């Protein structure tokens, strides 16, 4: 169902930590002008964990209105509170999102049975396509291929963003079911696509949307040589984006590019100057080359 480069778009803030909707609109336009295949607001990169539900709703609504049907909008609506996640997911459907991205419940660490119960409840009551989000490095819980395959039988659960850092995880999922898989790790987009993933929910696309989209397009066209070239040219940036906790580096880079203010909400803080200095040369080279 979902393919190509779907940007996990940052949420720009003003100096007073309010949402900067003018900058947000420009970021969305930048993505659409450069071939991004989908917009993902209110994910981890979008700092949803620091927002009120009213703020999340306003961002989701704004993104849908700005995109105006040109590409799919996959709204981040996850929570470790099932009823809260359901409410956000139902809202996303009401305002016209194409799908909802729901992170595995964090901190309370549900068992496989609990994971299945959580996602099934939301899928059945929301009526919007659901993209699971498996990211054990953030949640403390890994969804197994067997559990994912079981959930793929539920009407409405159609996709998974896989951020386990494992190509074999994707292999095991696809060998068990036909759920749509997208990479949750920019560095593994091409390897995961080689075993059946259809694209990526990308952090790097915030900075270089055209190359990330081109990597996916070239692979789909069967031009593996071009896809490999882009993969290697993006590798230094993919590393630089995670030298500190995401989205610190990507926001620092976008601020360096003049696109947003380098403001994060606590407990996140801007990237340390010495850390940015260590990656600035790499970042400038990749951005200038446009791969």
Residue 283 has pLDDT above 90, yes or no: no
Q: What is the DSSP string of 4-55?
A: EEEEE----B-TTS-B-HHHHHHHHHHHHHTT--EEE-SSTTTTGGGS-HHH
Is residue 61 over pLDDT 90?
A: yes
Residue 236 lies in a domain: no
Q: What are the tens digits of pLDDT across the range 88-125? A: 999 999 999 999 999 999 999 999 999 999 999 999 99
Has residue 267 got a pLDDT over 60? yes
Of the candidate ranges 47-51, 176-180, 226-230, 285-289, the one whose mean pLDDT is the lowest: 285-289
**For residues 5-9, average pLDDT:** 98
Q: Is the pLDDT of residue 1 over 70?
A: no
Query: Could you give the CA distance from residue 72 to residue 250 in angstroms, rounded to a whole number?
Result: 23
pLDDT (0 to 100) of residue 287: 80
pLDDT at 199: 98
Taking 80 as the threshold, does the pLDDT of residue 22 lie above it?
A: yes
CA atoms within 13 A on the CB side of 196: 18
The reply to whether 285 falls in a domain is no
- Domain total in the chain: 1
Angle, alpha carbons 127-45-237 (nearest 5°): 130
Determine the average pLDDT of the residues in 75-84. Answer: 97
Q: Is residue 187 domain-resident?
A: yes
Residue 290's pLDDT is 64
Residues annotated catalytic, as ranges:
133, 161
| Rounded mean pLDDT, 193-212 | 98
Mean pLDDT across 158-175:
97
Q: Which alpha helices (H) appear in 188-223, and where do they start and end?
A: 189-194, 209-220
Is 138 within a domain?
A: yes
What's the mean pLDDT when you consider all of the chain? 96
User: Which pLDDT value is given to residue 210?
Assistant: 97
Residue 200 lies in a domain: yes
Q: Which domain holds residue 151?
A: 4-222
Of 4, 1, 7, 11, which Cα lies nearest the Cα of 260?
11
Residue 48 counted as domain residue: yes
78 within 8 A of 102, measured Cβ to Cβ: yes
- Per-residue model confidence (pLDDT) at position 288: 83
The SS3 call for residue 101 is: strand
CATH number at residue 23: 3.20.20.70
148: pLDDT strictly greater than 60: yes
């Amino acid at each position: 169902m979902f393919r190509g480069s779907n940007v996990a778009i940052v949420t720009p803030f003003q100096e007073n930590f309010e949402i900067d909707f003018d900058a947000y609109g420009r970021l969305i336009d930048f993505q659409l002008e450069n071939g991004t295949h989908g917009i993902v607001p209110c994910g981890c990169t979008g700092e949803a964990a620091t927002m009120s539900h009213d703020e999340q709703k306003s961002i989701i609504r704004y993104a849908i209105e700005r995109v105006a049907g040109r590409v799919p909008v996959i709204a981040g609506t996850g929570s470790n509170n099932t009823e809260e996640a359901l409410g956000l997911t139902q809202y996303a459907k009401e305002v016209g999102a194409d799908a909802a991205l729901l992170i595995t419940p964090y901190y309370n660490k549900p068992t496989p049975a609990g994971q299945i119960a959580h996602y099934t409840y939301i899928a059945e009551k929301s009526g919007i396509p659901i993209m699971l989000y498996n990211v054990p490095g953030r949640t403390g819980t890994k969804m197994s291929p067997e559990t994912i395959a079981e959930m793929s039988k539920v009407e409405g659960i159609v996709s998974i963003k896989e951020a386990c850092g494992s190509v074999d995880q994707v292999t095991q999922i696809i060998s068990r079911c036909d759920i749509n898989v997208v990479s949750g790790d920019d560095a593994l987009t091409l390897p995961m696509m080689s075993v059946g993933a259809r694209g990526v929910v990308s952090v790097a696309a915030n900075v270089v949307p055209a190359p990330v989209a081109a990597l996916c397009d070239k692979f789909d066209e069967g031009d593996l040589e071009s896809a490999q070239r882009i993969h290697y040219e993006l590798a230094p940036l993919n590393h630089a984006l995670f030298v500190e906790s995401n989205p610190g580096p990507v926001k620092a880079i976008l601020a360096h590019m003049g696109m947003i203010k380098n403001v994060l909400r606590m407990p996140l803080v801007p990237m340390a100057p010495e850390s940015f200095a260590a990656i600035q040369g790499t970042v400038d080279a990749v951005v200038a080359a446009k791969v």
